[in-house]
């Protein structure tokens, strides 16, 4: 009589995590607005080993332009510099990895001039809407309260609401008018800034 060794094996199949992301309160941003990308992961992500946010297919690392907070977590806070297509990659405790749906964060076109901070100590940023991927010059001319031109600078802009950084700490306190112009010297808009 022969003896046979019988081995019993158990096969466990773990489901892939299902990740759904959403944006609130906005998917279209202006300077000064922020939005939050939030995620829902099932099964429960309590033991998740990793969250990786992707913007336009590239994993975000800290610091990332336009990301206010949340890299490495299930929630990401963005400002106007964070435009793009977002996905979240999650790896669970079993080593199973999956990627979420895609949410697009875009600009909201406006003819308004945005200055931050305002009032300021003299260092501030100016933003004005420009079409994406249309690299063009913008000209800033700043006038004091008497109407005298005190500052002129040109900037190369390639994204909607690209920053135009200004340092007027060497100028006195007061109300200044900021004129944004195009390549041909045409005034696009004017706004004011208070230096205190």
What are the structure tokens assigned to 47, written together? Answer: 């033991």
The CATH number linked to 156 is 2.60.40.1930
Quick check: is 97 in a domain? Answer: yes
- Is residue 14 scored above 90 in pLDDT? no
Quick check: is 7 in a domain? Answer: no
The DSSP output letter for 152 is E
Mean pLDDT of the chain: 91
Polymer length of the chain: 196
> Which tens digit of pLDDT belongs to each residue from 30-87?
999 999 999 999 876 556 678 999 999 999 987 899 999 999 999 999 999 999 999 9
Q: Is the same domain home to 103 and 23?
A: yes
Measure Cα distances from 51 to 25, 44, 59, 96, 102 in Å.
22, 14, 10, 12, 15
Q: Is the same domain home to 139 and 93?
A: no
CB-CB neighbours of 35 under 10 Å: 21
Q: Are 146 and 188 in contact (CB under 8 A)?
A: no
pLDDT at 44: 67
Domain boundary among the residues 107, 133, 151 is at 107
Q: Is the same domain home to 180 and 126?
A: yes
pLDDT at 125: 97
State in Å, rounded, how far the first CA of the chain is from the last one.
101
- Is residue 12 scored above 80 in pLDDT? no
Quick check: is 4 in a domain? Answer: no
Q: What percent of the chain has pLDDT over 90?
A: 72
Q: Is the same domain home to 93 and 159?
A: no
Which of 55-59, 101-105, 127-131, 165-169 has the lowest average pLDDT? 127-131
The CATH number linked to 58 is 2.60.40.10
Bridge partner residues of 103 (DSSP)? 86
> Which tens digit of pLDDT belongs to each residue from 153-175?
999 998 889 999 999 999 999 99
Domain boundary among the residues 107, 123, 158 is at 107
pLDDT at 148: 97
Strands 75-78, 35-42: parallel, antiparallel or unpaired by DSSP? antiparallel
Parent domain of 171: 114-195
- State how many domains the chain has: 2
Quick check: is 100 in a domain? Answer: yes
Domain boundary among the residues 61, 86, 107 is at 107
Quick check: is 9 in a domain? Answer: no
- Coil, strand or helix at 190: strand
């Amino acid at each position: 009589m022969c003896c046979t060794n019988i081995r019993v094996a158990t096969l466990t199949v773990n489901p892939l995590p299902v990740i759904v992301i959403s944006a609130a309160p906005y998917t279209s941003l202006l300077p000064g607005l922020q939005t939050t990308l939030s995620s829902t992961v099932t099964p429960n992500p309590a033991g998740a080993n990793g969250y990786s946010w992707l913007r336009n297919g590239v994993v975000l690392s800290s610091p990332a332009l336009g990301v206010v907070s949340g890299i490495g977590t299930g929630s990401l806070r963005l400002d106007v510099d964070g435009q793009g297509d977002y996905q979240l990659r999650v790896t669970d405790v079993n080593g199973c990895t999956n990627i979420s749906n895609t949410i697009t964060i875009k600009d909201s076109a406006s003819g308004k001039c945005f200055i931050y901070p305002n009032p300021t100590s003299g260092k501030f940023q100016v933003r004005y809407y420009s079409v994406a991927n249309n690299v063009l010059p913008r000209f800033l001319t700043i006038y004091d309260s008497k109407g005298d031109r005190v500052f002129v600078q040109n900037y190369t802009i390639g994204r909607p609401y690209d920053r135009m950084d200004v340092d007027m700490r060497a100028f006195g306190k007061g109300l200044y008018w900021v004129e944004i112009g195009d390549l041909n010297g045409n005034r696009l808009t004017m706004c004011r800034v208070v230096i205190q």
